[in-house]
Amino acid sequence: MLRVHSNEVTPGDTFLALRGINNDGHNYINEAINKGATCIIAQEGDYPVKTIIEKDTRAYLAKYLNELYADKLKKIELIAIGGVNGKTSAAYLTYQLLNKLEHKCAYIGSLGFCLDDNVKNLKNTTPDLYELYELISEAVNEECEYLVIEVSEAAMLQRRLEGLKFKYVAITNTSTNVLNMANNINIALLNKLKRYGYAIINADDEAANNLQLERNQNILFGMHKCDYQISDVHLYEDHSIFKLIDANKMTEINLPLAGKFNIYNYLVAYIIAVLIGVKAEEIILTTSYLKAPDGRYQIFKNDDSTVIVDNADTVERIKAVVTKTKKDFSGKLLILYGGNGNLEPENLQMLGKEILDFSDYTVFTINNPYHEKPEDIIQNMTNGLDESKFEIVVDRKEAIKKAISILAPGDVLLVLGRGNAPYQFIDNEKLPFNDVDEVSKFTKNKNV
């Protein structure tokens, strides 16, 4: 059997060495041989077993898997959701909507691998190619018509989708902070469409014109005049009402999700449903049964105060969440935010300053420090800030507990940056930790 992880090798297997950004399978070839590998496929080297040298082992793997699973790939249509913010919600809403419309669909993304009522945790938002094909195979075996895949930036950079082709690709948005890089990644994903596949693009995004590739069928949505135009938006604490102009027909939609950003996320799902042949009237009737994934603007009541968990971790997304919260709630706004490792000090400092400007009071903590010292991350975030407007609690669990304890009646606390992520990455450890679970422990009322 072909293996790409040395710890899975058994006697007689072939080991294929993949070269990634942070890891190189060539470093594990001797381990694979010691475990009984009788053939090595690599980009370089000479080994005491049968050796095949390929210029690009990832391209070799993609071709091998594509041929191995060719029959199954014909039985399912793949949907990719890319962009900077909103990928999880847009992909999860698409998964929900198609299933409720009786078009069986599976989901792969930061929430795991969702199929029917079962959820399997995944190591990465977008798994590597070998695991991805196994999940595609499982979806086909369960008679899924569609598989929606949330595509991370890392997945594109590490070529985890090599060789796969999609019928539908949706781009939620492009961050203005990393416009060129994000734009290039989005274009690379759009180039993975099948011939005459559908590109679903946020018309209000700064890069919208650049994303309309000539080879694709481009469908635009947004507030500007486009294929699916949003108008007359009314936002409430727990739902949104807006009008949708589609082919000169105007329809009012009552969406059971809060926030303007969720209108955009929902439209990705709506448009895909239309493109696969579902009537608009049927989609709108089904819309009332949709719900946001846990950890996306999830509201908890704590006596007379409110705690909201959201995965916002960029300035644009945080600003959107803060704007909505200030519209819906009149009390003081507190923010809990944790810094990540692997970020430049100036980026951390910019984030810290923006968050302090957004809030009346901030509790700074950590998110995923990886191999960096938590204290250094927080120091970079808080450098030069007004110390009377924030405090530091390094341990995130204690930070959540402390932030909730200082809420006064009418106050709102935003717990940002992680949403429903199930793990923290500290040093070499992957530790179970979930903001939603922790907030549930320390609030006195159930989430609403």
Between CA 221 and CA 348 the distance in angstroms is 33
pLDDT at 31 over 90: yes
**What's the structural domain count of the chain?**
3
Kindly state whether residues 160 and 239 are assigned to the same domain: yes
Beta-bridged to residue 415, according to DSSP, are 309, 336
Q: Give pLDDT, residue 179.
A: 47
Residue 448 belongs to a domain: no
CATH code (residue 15)? 3.40.1390.10
Kindly state whether residues 283 and 320 are assigned to the same domain: no
Between CA 288 and CA 282 the distance in angstroms is 11
User: In angstroms, how far is CA 195 from the centroid of its own chain?
Assistant: 26
Q: Give pLDDT, residue 182.
A: 66
Residue 447 belongs to a domain: no
- DSSP letters for 376-388: HHHHHHHTT--GG
* pLDDT confidence tier of residue 70, bands split at 50, 70 and 90: very high
**Across residues 288-292, what is the average pLDDT?**
93
**Across residues 362-380, what is the average pLDDT?**
94
Kindly state whether residues 103 and 243 are assigned to the same domain: yes
* pLDDT confidence tier of residue 181, bands split at 50, 70 and 90: low
What are the pLDDT digits (tens) for 155-168?
998 899 999 999 99
Q: Give pLDDT, residue 175.
A: 57
Q: Give pLDDT, residue 191.
A: 95
What are the pLDDT digits (tens) for 96-149?
999 999 999 999 998 999 999 899 988 888 998 999 999 999 999 999 999 999
Q: Give pLDDT, residue 314.
A: 83
Domain boundary among 233, 255, 287: 287
Kindly state whether residues 256 and 303 are assigned to the same domain: no
Kindly state whether residues 80 and 31 are assigned to the same domain: no
* pLDDT confidence tier of residue 178, bands split at 50, 70 and 90: very low
For residue 403, the enclosing domain spans 298-442
Kindly state whether residues 118 and 209 are assigned to the same domain: yes
